[in-house]
Structure 1
Amino acid sequence: MTKLETQVRALFDAYAKRSDDALQNPPKEDIDGVVSAFAPFFVESSPRGVIGGANDDRFRSMIPQGFARYRQVGGKHMTVKGLKVIELDHCHAVADVDWDFAYTNKAGQSGHVTFTNFYFVTIAGGTPKVFGYVTPDEEQAMKDHGLV
């Protein structure tokens, strides 16, 4: 395993743990840790469109809101089921991450939403940072599973 792949895997091991911890009861939210996983500016693309944003106070304030929403719809666990690192050059990679979102819906039924995100990662600053990601339609997936 190359140094770049090792760093990208460590980034997502920590990111997944933070995400899962935030869904526990009581939740343990490591906002600083989540913020530190992202570059000063990053871009998201999904079926809803492309948006970009700064890693600033607004982003910081959105993180606990996102975790609260996941808990509100019945989220219990967020785990990585697969991770493939595609090296682009000596300091850039794409992390192909298979996620599993375990939930208990309002009817008391347990289930899983599985999805794949692609994260663009740089280590140009010395530590791995996400500077972009591609994600499926999360809102539609939640509707399909009766969570919203």
Structure 2
Amino acid sequence: METSVRRLFERYERVFNAALQGKVDMDEVAALYASAFIAASPAGVMTGKNDEQLKQVMAQGYARYRAIGTREMRIRELRISPMDEHHCVAHVAWKATYLRKDQPDIAIDFEVHYLVQQLGAEPKVFGWVSGDEQALLQEHGII
């Protein structure tokens, strides 16, 4: 399972960076996720379905990232904690690089914990837990 989860996040990183370049395939984005998911952050807990609304929300999110100057998202480290033969938590340490007007680019490190399930050939993200993204972006003068 570890190898397939690592490949999932290599794809995740590649898709995210393509989206930052405006070259996003929303079907490829949706393929990363299970049919339903849960997300938790200091803003609360949300549930959703992998449907057209998810694609729309993700497209808006990528547009927002481009608008605030997000240039690149790179995985610094990926640690996998198995739960059973079909589930794990993927602890992903990201480095986000932002372009800023009249200032040097800035890189921000953060971590997201993804819930992953593998029932068939490919693992899927069915949830994630993240920190306060808005506060982090404000702290670094991005927004």
**Bin of the TM-score, shorter chain as denominator length:** over 0.9
Q: What's the RMSD between the two structures over aligned residues?
A: 1.1
* Equivalent residues in 2 for 1:1-148, closer than 5 Å: 4-24=1-21, 27-148=22-143
Q: Which amino acid aligns with 1:117?
A: V
Q: Which amino acid aligns with 1:103?
A: Y
Give 5+ residue unaligned stretches, structure 1: none
- 1:118-142 Cα distance to aligned partner (Å, 9 max, x none): 0010012432011110001111111
Q: Which amino acid aligns with 1:11?
A: L
Give, in whole Å, the separation in 2 of the partners of 1:96 and 1:22.
22
Give 5+ residue unaligned stretches, structure 2: none
Secondary structure of the residue aligned to 2:128 is strand
Secondary structure of the residue aligned to 2:93 is strand
Secondary structure of the residue aligned to 1:90 is coil
- 1:38-71 Cα distance to aligned partner (Å, 9 max, x none): 1111000101111101111111111111111111
Give, in whole Å, the separation in 2 of the partners of 1:139 and 1:53.
21
* TM-score normalised according to structure 1 size: 0.92
